[in-house]
A and B are shown apart, each in its own frame.
Chain A
Amino acid sequence: MGGSDFLGLFNYWIVIVLMMLGLYTVVSRGNLVKKIIGLNIFQTSVFLLYISMGKVAGGTAPILTGDPKEVYSNPLPHVLILTAIVVGVATTALGLALVVRIKNAYDSIEEDEIQAADDEMEFGVEPAAKDGPP
């Protein structure tokens, strides 16, 4: 791979690193709010990936300026991502409302504590000697 390949692709690679950071936050952390924030990071980096694909070198924002020789960046990814952003915040709001209800029901938003409370309710498992609620 030559140097031009790196320049042409490093945008995508760093965005993939961001995506993986978001994914790792969702998978490995037990706190529900942090999972939702990690999901937001994942979403935003996917948006960056799409918009990077839409950029045309030497182009400008896709708003007609009247200059017939003007080069515009691709407006289609912009349309898709604009709707995706607002849908993303709508689902985040829904997720956060669920977190509030879970807190009301279980008095905790840590995943392992919720799991332990469920196990205790379902199977009557005696909780092992562990610390009290944080």
Chain B
Amino acid sequence: MSQIVIDGVSWALLIAGSILVLVGALGLMRMPDFYTRMHAAGITDTLGADLILLGLMVQAGFTLVTVKLLLIGAFLFFTSPTSTHAIANAAYTAGLRPSISEWDTDEPPEGPERDHGEEDPRP
């Protein structure tokens, strides 16, 4: 009985992790801008990988393998956000800026009257 519970929980975690990895990959292909793509890729590395590792840990039970998986999860938890940050920081230092959508700087869409007395301050 408990084997079914363990299997079910680990299946759910593995599938959730795989869906997040797929979402990350889809975002990487479809996002328009570099920074939004980095945001999508970050999901793959952190939450996707950690959920898959949790699913594997549930399968492994209380053995040495679980401790090793826990350590791998801890290292991934440290390093993948750092690598995402490093890439985004390198792009920012190189001069790439996030693209701001056009209607923020041109006419805003039809809406309630807003009292913008001055020019839009954004470049």
A contacts B directly in the complex (CB < 8 Å)?
Answer: no
Q: Which residues of B contact A (CB under 8 A)?
A: none
